[in-house]
Amino acid sequence: YIDGLYAHILESSTEIISPTVTTPTSTKASFADAQTTGVVSINEGKIVDAEGISTTFFTTKAVGTYIDKLYAQVIESTTSVRVDEDKKTAVQSLDPSTTVVGSKTFRTGLVRLIEGSIVK
């Protein structure tokens, strides 16, 4: 379980390594080998179409955990779309950069603007 959610291992691999005799020189080495648990990275942002009619908000989060002594990262992704209905109804005519061929519409120039950042 990660943050109260059930996690399912989709893929795992196993490798048998022969034991070697070593003497630990420092406890810092064992901390360096440990993998990060909890939120490892967050990427969030938005995608706005050129006319500003629709905006897609996105968040992608990687959560590190151990499952049966195996390290795993679970990816959680959410998106939502907001449509400005006033702008949508105001843009009725085709602008010069739009071409209609049969049932398909093609546009040139700026189509969408992507803004985002990796938070962690």
Strands, E, within 34-111: which ranges? 38-49, 54-67, 70-83, 98-101, 104-107
Please, are residues 53 and 84 in contact by the beta-carbon 8 Å criterion? yes
Q: For residue 39, which of 64, 5, 6, 74 has the smallest C-alpha distance?
A: 64
Asked if pLDDT for residue 97 goes beyond 50, the answer is: yes
In a domain, 12, yes or no: no
Please, are residues 47 and 55 in contact by the beta-carbon 8 Å criterion? yes
Domain span at 65: 34-117
In a domain, 21, yes or no: no
CA distance 117 to 45: 6
Mean pLDDT of the chain: 75
pLDDT value at position 116? Answer: 80
In a domain, 106, yes or no: yes
Q: How many residues does the chain have?
A: 120
DSSP class of 78 = E
In a domain, 79, yes or no: yes
The pTM (predicted TM-score) of the whole model is: 0.52
In a domain, 17, yes or no: no
78 pLDDT band, cuts 50/70/90, is: very high
* pLDDT per residue as tens digits for the range 31-60: 446 788 888 889 999 988 877 888 999 999
Q: Are strands 98-101 and 38-49 parallel, antiparallel or unpaired?
A: unpaired
